[in-house]
Amino acid sequence: MIALAAALRDAAQSVARVAAGNSLADEFERVAEQGTETPRAALIDLTHGTLRRYGRMQAIVSQLSRRGRPDALLEALLWCALYALESGRYAEYTVVDQAVRACALLERWSAKGYVNALLRAFLRERGSLEGRINADPQARYQHPGWWIEILRATYPAMWQEVLAAGNSHPPMCLRVNPRRSSVAAYLAKLEDAGIASRVLADQAVLLDKPVPVERLPGFDSGEVSVQDAGAQRAARVLDLRSGQRVLDACAAPGGKSGHILESADVALTALDADAARCARLERNLARLGLGARILNADCRQLGDWWDGVPFDRVLADVPCSASGVVRRHPDIKWLRRNNDIQAFAVRQASILHALWQVLQPNGKLLYATCSVFASENDAVIDAFVARTQRAVRLPLLDGAPAQALPDAQGDGFYYALIQKQA
């Protein structure tokens, strides 16, 4: 059981850094560089699970602590231990014992009695705690208060479902590469591998349960990619045709770029402002047996990358709040601030302004976000179309609404297709 104590230690260190403002992705990079005895799967479970329930964990510690707020690292340990208790993965006595042992691993020897007492108090008072906790919306819905209010105002009939989806475990969806396999052939391979699945649409295959990528038959040879069903809409609604010049303006890590190249014989230029992410994009396309012109550049700085030849299609998968994929990145909802959303909208408008200049007359630009906030979506597009001559918003080719909300099959994405009239 020393392994659980070590896992609680490692998870508490990462969660404490996230609470201080670091991203969870950066934390996992740090852990990978420094090394740890904790299996990655166990660390993901403890960190992601704790951060999905962060508001609840905070409220429980606040209710039960008899000596005021503990120091940041000890508080993070309590959050992780409470998640472990609620997860049902371990016996209750085991979690309490191992959390106390983790105090020593964190050099918080004097806190052993406090941690033991608080966790045992939680087990005794769990029933009476619920009423007190549920009175606080942030603890009940496990999202920041401002986030809850935005969703309540935007989706009056659905806001609770959207919040619940944000706290759930994400589905695992695959995209079959038609240049390497067929959906029917790949489904047979999954069945042979003992992986239950079903087809959602076109090349999208939803697994009944997530599995490690290493278990996916043909992954290394490019037969399949992991890509959410919502993200797979992009290539379907971009109206691709062979021979087109296509720009993926914010392309890394390359999921949508790969899908574009799998869907049609186009000349693709893929941009990203992050050099490391460009390298990852190149590796992902190589695995699929595909090629593109990959440039490390800010799409808004046209002089740095554009050769003056316009594009037939432009995909603007713009930076956003990521509020539609927060269950995959549970730290985001606690790191974001309300004023960040308007800052994203300003940046999104500047990207649209720049990319409009590289679009061919009669060409089409697809604006995409993984956000459920209207101020990043309809508000940005409506303002752009209103102020831009020759900009006409078109219906999406799949007939589905622009805004998809997260559910059991896919994440929350938004798409708007705009044509530049000749």
Q: Which residues pair with 281 in a beta bridge?
A: none
What gap in Å lies between CA 97 and CA 123, rounded to an integer? Answer: 13
3-state secondary structure 115-176: HHHHHHHHHHHHHHHHHHHHCCHHHHHCCCHHHHHHHHHHCCCCHHHHHHHHCCCCCCEEEE
What gap in Å lies between CA 290 and CA 263, rounded to an integer? Answer: 11
Under 8 Å between Cβ of 13 and 46: no
Amino acid at 229: A
Name the CA dihedral angle for 184, 196, 53, 60, rounded to a multiple of 10 degrees: 170
What gap in Å lies between CA 222 and CA 202, rounded to an integer? Answer: 17
Nearest CA among 142, 139, 95 for reference residue 115: 95
What token pair was written down for 205?
């295959």
Q: Which residues pair with 207 in a beta bridge?
A: 197
Q: Which residues pair with 357 in a beta bridge?
A: none
Nearest CA among 174, 253, 230 for reference residue 372: 230
What gap in Å lies between CA 261 and CA 288, rounded to an integer? Answer: 10
Neighbour count for residue 213 (Cβ, 10 Å): 13
The secondary structure of residue 238, as a DSSP letter, is S
Under 8 Å between Cβ of 49 and 83: yes
Q: Active-site residue 320, yes or no?
A: no
For the chain, what is the radius of gyration of the CA atoms?
Answer: 23
Residue 205: its H or E element: strand 204-207
Q: Which of 80, 173, 250, 370 is catalytic?
A: 370
Nearest CA among 211, 170, 206 for reference residue 193: 211
Under 8 Å between Cβ of 177 and 262: yes
Which residues are annotated as catalytic?
Answer: 370
